[in-house]
Amino acid sequence: MGQSSRDGSAFSLRFLLFLSLFVWPEQPSLAAAPQPCHGGTLEHTQASDALPVPPTAPERPQTSAAPDRKDRADSAPHAAAGLTAKKKLAKKFRPDANPAPPDFAAPWAPPAVDDAVPPVAADVPCAAPEILEAAARRVKELVANLEEFTATERVEHSKLDGKGKARAPETRSYNYLVSFHEVRPGMLSVEETRNGSLLPDSFPERLATTGLPALVLVVHPYFVEDFDIACEGLGQWRGRPAWQVHFQQRADRPVRVRSYRVSHRRFPIRLKGRAWIAQDTHQVVRLETDLLEPVPLIRLQQEHMAIEYRPVEFPRRKLRLWLPHSVDLWVDFRGRRYHRRHSFRDFQLFSVETSQQIHDPVQPQ
């Protein structure tokens, strides 16, 4: 069922989306870009260099008289230029511009969310509206309390061979800074830097995955109505009871959570996924997402993401926040397959706290 926001007021959202991939200069990139959304706009926090999609050619007027020879001659150069541009664009984004990837005999990524549904208790009713309302309160508390944090981020990037086996990983570390707050009611801002820079070229193979904090916003009241949502039942995560909630992008709603940027063009990505929401605290403890369908135009065949959240204590403020502990990404993109893992430690809040460690959740008695 689709879920609705509480106030329906017009708003503008500005945040760096969960996954962005930048490759310089001709390689593909994944990024957010300005687009209309429910009475407002979704603005990218970085300077946008997206090229506009070529406008649709106007319909030819119906006429029984053929144009005279001079008119045809005058229009020929413009027609030729337009045809050349279209040919270049078609060649650049032709799905078969590169050879198809080899068939992988062995599994190379975890099952998609719809391929393997974790078991749930058979005799426990699950009321999605109440669960989502409680989870939304937790996400709003996160936005209100977080404002800014830093962490040490470790990225391990591996290419996968034709049998799905990972080659030796390339490892990078970053000083990760995130600003995450509500500018005013109805306007969110999530911005991030790594080693003080927004540039993507410090990532392995210059493929930058950015916007990691933002995916949890799928249960925020501003976004939840963009998805069809169903509660699958009461399952478990790491030994704790957790509600399993399936979500899928609605066809009649704008895509505001993910997009790929390829050679400066933006391609919205429709997602489906599953959230694990702790039964006792209603914190989101895990998220998994997959593509709702492949995107042949940019040769994006498959993608699976898994994000795990852990509680982080900030004693000076007597505050506990659930923040990303690890993010795993498996992607089949332009004939290559990768696995990338982000992990985080040494959290600091407002740049003045002493280092904080992520803790394992307390097991129920």
Provide the mean pLDDT of the chain.
Answer: 74
Residue 85: its pLDDT value, please?
A: 42
Domain chopping of the chain, boundaries: 13-47+124-349
Lowest mean pLDDT among 81-90, 264-273, 348-357: 81-90
Give the separation between CA 17 and CA 271, rounded to whole angstroms. 13
Decide if 292 contacts 270 (C-beta within 8 A): yes
Residue 101: its pLDDT value, please?
A: 47
Residue with tokens 């501003």: 222
Decide if 42 contacts 34 (C-beta within 8 A): yes
Q: 148 pLDDT band (50/70/90 cuts)?
A: confident
For residue range 345-360, what is the model confidence (pLDDT) as tens digits?
Answer: 999 987 444 455 555 5
Residue 223 pLDDT greater than 50, yes or no: yes
Architecture of the domain spanning 13-47+124-349: Clam (2.50)
258 vs 275: which has the higher pLDDT = 275
Q: Looking at mean pLDDT, say which of 86-90, 146-150, 166-170 comes out highest.
A: 166-170
Give the separation between CA 214 and CA 324, rounded to whole angstroms. 10
Burial 183-201 (b: 16+ CB within 10 A, else e): eeebbbbbbbbbeeeeebe
CB atoms within 10 A of CB 42: 21
Both structure tokens of 196:
């003080």
Decide if 243 contacts 127 (C-beta within 8 A): no
Residue 121 pLDDT greater than 50, yes or no: yes
Give the separation between CA 127 and CA 327, rounded to whole angstroms. 28
For residue range 22-66, what is the model confidence (pLDDT) as tens digits?
Answer: 443 334 334 333 233 332 222 222 322 332 333 333 333 343 344
Give the strand pairing for 187-194 and 13-15: parallel
Give the separation between CA 352 and CA 24, rounded to whole angstroms. 35
- The residues pairing with 240 across neighbouring beta strands, listed in sequence order, are 237
pTM score: 0.72
